[in-house]
Amino acid sequence: MKPGKVYLIGAGPGDPGLLTIKGRDCLALADVIIYDYLANPVLLGYAKPDAERIYVGKSRGHHSLPQEEINQLLADKAAAGLNVARLKGGDPYVFGRGGEEASLLHKQNIPFEVVPGVTAGFAAAAYAGIPLTHRDITTSLALLTGHERPERKLSSLDWEKLATGLGTLIFYMGMTNLKKISAKLIEHGRSADTPVAVVQWATLPRQKTLTGRLDEIAALVAAAKIEPPAVIIIGEVVRYREELRWYDNLPLFGRRFLITRPYAQATSFVALLQAQGAETICIPTIEIAPPTDWQPCDEALLQLGSYDGLILTSANAVDAFFERMNIKGLDLRALSGVEIIAVGPKTAKAIEKRGLKPDFVPNNYRAEGVVNELLSRGVSSKCYLYPRTEIARTLIPDSLSKAGAQVDSPIVYRTLAPEGKQEMIRHLLDANELDAICFSSSSTFDNLHAMFGEELQQLKKETAFFSIGPLTSETIRKHDFEVALEPENSTLDDLVTAMIEYYSEE
């Protein structure tokens, strides 16, 4: 059997946006993903749905699988004809033991390819606001490990040259030996007041950066209880941090939010929050399902050209409706002469992705806005198609019907409570690890409340509830919960803006 290929992929330091395009593409090809403790699990989303996922992570004192067995696992999976992605934190060839893995593959005639990643030292410096080189200070740097083989300890390092011959020193895996590293450098000539930065969880919203003098940094780290994973940066360039820091100055830096939207709909919201420095945890409290009966929708599609207007009030409705059109053999020509009405900009964008431009979007991004706009134009004797969710309010069909219009409102999707999410959310709430939960619809709150009942009052502790708009807020308050934040307009962009203002005032 012809062996598969092994891709040794650098996952980068933690921020999933720092994965290279080639790394992403290789993940998508793989039949097996073998990943590390320091590789962001979010990256597994690039894998094929049926790809096997094997965790072999190693953290201090905990080894899921010895390195020798990892090496052989790569070879065995590839020998079985499978393409294997070995996803490693940082860069495979910078203190990542990628050389050992590649050597075994070479010996067993297994084809492999190395995909470089952003190494933790470079990323930690950039995200902490520290230029590793600066022509006014130093043009040299060294990458070192502070954790060698146990029998060698730190004896193999030439401390005199490190202390006096190089500008910037970056130590990986050196937290356990930080006191010894500092002492050795001072002993061999490095000034005791040399600035040092210790960057923990670099590039992630939980990143912490501690600075101090070389002779005091070990004590400061111990007092702050900073533990691995962390990178140690030693040199005069650290003094630039206060001037050049940017990441931990982002308005939502260090904040952690639970996103309750389905994964497919949460992507843009998550990206908006992460761009402001926030950490997002997406655990959907709803999932989208087709209706139990497509017949009412199919009957409407048979007479699509007879409608005066098509009213769409969510991206889910857009997706479900147009996909059903496609299944029934219809294309955009079937909507010729039909006015396309979108409830808000996000729905309008979803329509535009389908190749159509909405005829109007009301100023008030709610069903009330659609109704007021249509009534102001006159709807008597007109016929509208309103594809909707199973639990949609009856405001649109009731209001337009009273004004003399005919409204057909077939169900095109349902929102269900997903299974297996309760304990994940319980852990976050019990541990008080969330700043806020973001609710994008009444259903997202209703399903969360159904999971916990009144127990939710005790679980939420200091966790705030943020709502997308008035209807969602009304649902939350109906159960005697406080809404900490609601944007003026019911859009995710406005919600993020309101969140930034909320924490800036705090």
Cβ burial, residue 336 (10 Å; 0-12/13-18/19+): exposed
What Cα–Cα distance (Å) separates residue 402 from each residue in 25, 306, 375, 410? 55, 20, 10, 19
CB atoms within 10 A of CB 211: 18
CA atoms within 13 A on the CB side of 367: 14
- H/E stretch holding 32 reads strand 32-35
Where does 360-496 show beta strands of DSSP type E? 383-385, 388-389, 406-408, 411-416, 436-439, 464-467
CB atoms within 10 A of CB 481: 17
Cβ burial, residue 437 (10 Å; 0-12/13-18/19+): buried
CA 427 to chain centre: 19
CB 209 within 8 A of CB 197: yes
Told to judge if 184 belongs to the known catalytic residues of this protein, a careful annotator would answer: no
Told to judge if 136 belongs to the known catalytic residues of this protein, a careful annotator would answer: no
Q: b vs e for 29-64, b when ≥16 Cβ sit within 10 Å of the residue's Cβ?
A: bbbbbbbbbbbbebbbebbeeebeeeebebeeeeee
What Cα–Cα distance (Å) separates residue 400 from each residue in 6, 344, 497? 61, 19, 34
CB 410 within 8 A of CB 320: no
CB atoms within 10 A of CB 307: 21
Told to judge if 58 belongs to the known catalytic residues of this protein, a careful annotator would answer: yes
Catalytic residue among 15, 31, 36, 446: 36
Strand order from edge to edge, sheet including 339-342: 339-342, 309-312, 383-385, 406-408
Residue 90 DSSP code: B
**Distance separating alpha carbons of residues 492 and 499, to the nearest angstrom:** 10
Catalytic residue among 5, 88, 173, 499: 173
Amino acid 385 reads: L
**Distance separating alpha carbons of residues 290 and 154, to the nearest angstrom:** 62
**Distance separating alpha carbons of residues 463 and 28, to the nearest angstrom:** 37
Residue with tokens 């159960």: 479
The residues annotated with a catalytic role in the active site are 36, 58, 173
